[in-house]
Amino acid sequence: MIWNAVRESEAPEKRRTRQLADLKDLVARLYNRVPFYKERFDAQGVKPSDIQSLEDIAKIPFTTKDDLRETYPYGLLASGEEEIVEVHTSSGTTGTPVVDAYTQNDMDIWAEVMARCLMMAGAERGDVIQNGYGYGLFTGGLGVHYGAHNIGCNIIPVGGGNTERQLQLMRDFESTVLTCTPSYSLYMTEVAKEMGLEMADLKLKSGIFGAEPWSDNMRREIEEKMYLTAYDIYGLTEIIGPGVSNECSEHNGLHINEDHFYPEIINPETGEVLPDGEKGELVFTTLTKTGTPILRYRTRDITWLERGECACGRNLVRMHRLLGRTDDMMIIRGVNVFPSQIENILMEIEETQPHYQIVIDRGQSHLDDVELRVEVEPQFFSDETKQLERISQKIATAMKNKLGVNLQIKLVEPKSIERSMGKAKRVIDKRTL
Amino acid sequence: MKVTQISVFMENKNGRLAEITKLLASKKISLRAVTIADTADFGILRLIVKEPDRTRDVLLEAGFTARETDVLAVAMEDKPGALADVMELFEKNNVNIEYLYSILAGKGDKADIVFRVEDLERGQILLKQNGYNRPLDL
């Protein structure tokens, strides 16, 4: 089912006309109300009246995460403070948090786009949604919550953690849709096994997974172990939280709610806008928000866009599953490596678990030493060192062949790598440069 | 004779071996042989015990990665050349040895050696045919 067929399947020309009208309105509003944007426009010699087509968006300066931090907490507010009804911030683990302040208009948009996303993943009225995303300042929990209520689903607001109880609730209330991070879902299957709970006996039909990068191989593993269909969801606090885009039943990219969040792909080095199909950094402009709308926000996520009718009936532009982040990208001895690549390679090797950790250090030789800690599958544990060394060697060879760098492989005990309730800590960078 | 060896995967980190031995002590498991094969990154602890199944379960329950492997325990004369005789027997008959270690202080004039061989059945028959058939006292 499609939540809002009028918008999600709208004729492209009609959609573009509205996008342009909303963009012009947004630019004028921000230029007049937010000194930060006025200064940026003036410095570039750009006036709101210069925006006459959607392509003119390229004239608008980018907004970065640093800009958001420097204007913390309310420097980018475009409405009156009294119009704000809810505030969310990012975790702030890597610096000052960034703020999303929502007016009632923004809350309505959020409930709308999340309802669309949940429905793309098969949720309908009558479904029981078990929400394993954290509630609170993190947008994940409440975003799903508002969308579920908008559809009229029964939502179980369990939040993250408490895994045994999660599984009991899932069984007792016959949850049909699970929302959580992909790594946490795999952890759940391990706990279920220990509890003697058969995932096959549960009623789950869909899992909506996001908030951290994952691969198609991981999707297959989750689907096999959890007996559900896995859907990728994408969003970020700076834009609205979850609800920016979601996979549909075709699993051919994530439909972006582009009538609200206008996407572009740019060359991360030059800022040049790239045509559809080319890989680059994803940039968003929130066309319709009124609290803290944002112009050309650089997400640092790397993907590409694809347009056209989708067999699901929508024609919203699709973004490919994330390839990585411009800031997650590790440069190891001069070679660009994304954690998702490592995960994909490990998934091809049956003797290991997809649980891994990368530790980068700069050794005495002043070269980057990368240790890849990988869990051994218990069934492949052998009493002979040469068998285990063969596994190590197999991983090292696969990494060398596919990434072009030598990694030191360290086999570790099953379940010894910390399981995350939220975002998995995959990379530990000890380099002091 | 065929005995069951327990092997345990150990990361090279402080206190791991102490944890295992403490656990086994608390369950009153007595070790008849203990040896560690180690590499730079990990070690494999190999044990011969009286109750291998119980020992394996104790280890698995405590979260260790453990498995059982059949090995050959051979009781031989405690005198120079005794091991050489067995090795010659294996060599002549193409029984490949992966590793071997000795069992803790045997009784009287017998010495016990544990052999992990590629072809267990063949090794076992060979030993029997050549008079190495004294049962092992665990």
Whether residues A383 and B7 touch (CB distance < 8 A) is answered with yes
Residue A189 pLDDT > 80: yes
pLDDT, tens digit, 9 for 90 and up, residues A27-40: 999 999 999 999 99
Closest residue in chain A to residue B61, using alpha carbons only: A194
Write down the pLDDT at residue B108. 65
Alpha-carbon distance of A161 to A217, in angstroms, equals: 24
Percentage of chain A lying above the pLDDT 70 cut: 94
Q: Which of A354, A396, A383, A430 is nearest to A185 (CA)?
A: A354
Closest residue in chain B to residue A194, using alpha carbons only: B61
pLDDT, tens digit, 9 for 90 and up, residues A239-268: 999 999 999 999 999 999 999 999 999 998
Query: Chain B closest CA to A371's CA: distance in Å?
Result: 11
pLDDT, tens digit, 9 for 90 and up, residues A288-304: 999 999 999 999 888 99
Three-class secondary structure assignment of chain A: CCCCHHHHCCCHHHHHHHHHHHHHHHHHHHHHHCHHHHHHHHHHCCCHHHCCCHHHHHHCCCECHHHHHHCCCCCCCCCCHHHEEEEEECCCCCCCCCEEEEEHHHHHHHHHHHHHHHHHCCCCCCCEEEECCCCCCCHHHHHHHHHHHHHCCEEECCCCCCHHHHHHHHHHCCCCEEEECHHHHHHHHHHHHHHCCCHHHCCCCEEEECCCCCCHHHHHHHHHHHCCEEEEEEEECCCCEEEEEEECCCCCCEEECCCCEEEEEECCCCCCECCCCCCEEEEEEECCCCCCCCCCEEEEEEECEECCCCCCCCCCCEECCCCEECCCCEEECCEEECHHHHHHHHHCCCCEEEEEEEEEEECCCCCEEEEEEEEECHHHCCCCHHHHHHHHHHHHHHHHHHHCCCCEEEEECCCCCCCCCCCCCCEEECCCC
Whether residues B65 and A416 touch (CB distance < 8 A) is answered with no
Which of A11-15, A92-96, A102-106, A174-178 is the least confident region? A92-96
Alpha-carbon distance of A258 to A27, in angstroms, equals: 17
Cβ neighbour number for residue A39 with a 10 Å cutoff: 11
Write down the pLDDT at residue A421. 57
What residues of chain B lie within 8 A of the CB of A384, using their CB?
A: 37, 44, 98-99, 116
Alpha-carbon distance of B47 to A271, in angstroms, equals: 62
Residue A365 pLDDT > 70: no
- Average pLDDT, stretch A50-57? 97
Write down the pLDDT at residue B104. 79
User: Do A1-327 and A330-429 agree at the fold level?
Assistant: no
Residue A192 pLDDT > 80: yes
**Overall size of chain A counted in residues:** 433
- Average pLDDT, stretch B96-102? 92
Alpha-carbon distance of A208 to A226, in angstroms, equals: 12
- Average pLDDT, stretch A369-396? 89
CATH of B71-129, one of 3.40.50.150, 3.40.630.30, 3.30.70.260, 3.40.1190.20: 3.30.70.260
Residue B80 pLDDT > 70: yes
Which of A101-110, A350-359, A376-385 is the least confident region? A350-359
Write down the pLDDT at residue B110. 72
What residues of chain B lie within 8 A of the CB of A383, using their CB?
A: 5, 7, 44, 46, 67, 69, 116
Query: Chain A closest CA to B43's CA: distance in Å?
Result: 8
Q: Which two tokens stand for residue B85?
A: 């005789």
- The residue among A347 and A109 whose pLDDT is bigger is A109
Whether residues A384 and B41 touch (CB distance < 8 A) is answered with no
Residue A368 pLDDT > 80: no
Closest residue in chain B to residue A377, using alpha carbons only: B65
Q: In this structure, which amino acid lies at residue B34?
A: V
C-alpha A266, offset from chain centre: 18
- All residues at 6 or more sequence positions from B114 whose CB lies less than 8 Å from its CB, including other chains: B3, B5, B33, B48, B71, B72, B73, B74, B100, B101, B102, B103
Which of A28-42, A113-127, A316-330, B8-22 is the least confident region? A316-330
- Average pLDDT, stretch A321-326? 78
The residue among B3, B6, B39, B41 with the most chain A CBs within 10 A of its CB, best to mutate, is: B41
- All residues at 6 or more sequence positions from B44 whose CB lies less than 8 Å from its CB, including other chains: A382, A383, A384, A385, A388, B7, B8, B9, B10, B36, B37, B38
pLDDT, tens digit, 9 for 90 and up, residues A390-425: 999 999 999 988 888 889 999 988 888 877 655 567
Q: Which of B57, B75, B56, B50 is nearest to B128 (CA)?
A: B75
Residue A176 pLDDT > 70: yes
Whether residues A383 and B69 touch (CB distance < 8 A) is answered with yes
Average pLDDT, chain A: 91
- Average pLDDT, stretch B85-103? 92
Closest residue in chain A to residue B11, using alpha carbons only: A412
Write down the pLDDT at residue A323. 78
> Is A394 exposed, middle or buried (CB count within 10 Å of its CB: 0-12, 13-18, 19+)?
middle
Range B113-137 burial, b when 16+ CB lie within 10 A, else e: bbbbbeebeebbebbeeeebeeebe
Residue A91 pLDDT > 70: no
Which of A137-141, A399-403, B7-11 is the least confident region? A399-403
Q: pLDDT band at residue A172, thresholds of 50, 70 and 90?
A: very high
* C-beta of residue B114 within 8 angstroms of C-beta of residue B2: no
What residues of chain B lie within 8 A of the CB of A411, using their CB?
A: 9, 11, 41-42
What CATH number does the domain located at A330-429 have? 3.30.300.30
Give the class (CATH, top level) of B2-69.
alpha beta
Closest residue in chain A to residue B40, using alpha carbons only: A410
Q: Which two tokens stand for residue A298?
A: 């650089």
Residue A6 pLDDT > 90: yes
Alpha-carbon distance of A385 to B59, in angstroms, equals: 19
Residue A158 pLDDT > 80: yes
Residue B14 pLDDT > 60: yes
- The residue among A366 and B22 whose pLDDT is bigger is B22
Q: pLDDT band at residue B138, thresholds of 50, 70 and 90?
A: low
- Per DSSP, B62 falls in state T
Closest residue in chain B to residue A412, using alpha carbons only: B11
Which of A19-28, A101-110, B104-113 is the least confident region? B104-113
CATH 3.40.50.12780 fits A1-327, yes or no: yes
Percentage of chain A lying above the pLDDT 90 cut: 68
Alpha-carbon distance of A148 to A382, in angstroms, equals: 48
Q: pLDDT band at residue A99, thresholds of 50, 70 and 90?
A: very high
Instruction: List residues of chain A with CB under 8 Å from any CB of chain B.
Output: 376, 378, 381-385, 388-389, 392, 409-416
Q: Which of A283, A260, A259 is nearest to A271 (CA)?
A: A283
The DSSP bridge partners found for residue A155 are: A129
Write down the pLDDT at residue B15. 85
What residues of chain A lie within 8 A of the CB of B65, using their CB?
A: 376, 378, 381, 413-414
Residue A233 pLDDT > 90: yes
Backbone angles phi, psi at B92, to 5 degrees: -60, -30
What residues of chain A lie within 8 A of the CB of B118, using their CB?
A: none
User: Domain residue spans in chain A?
Assistant: 1-327, 330-429
Q: pLDDT band at residue A90, thresholds of 50, 70 and 90?
A: confident
Alpha-carbon distance of A321 to A301, in angstroms, equals: 10
Query: Chain B closest CA to A370's CA: distance in Å?
Result: 14
Alpha-carbon distance of A46 to A54, in angstroms, equals: 15
Q: Which two tokens stand for residue B76?
A: 């031989």
Write down the pLDDT at residue A352. 83
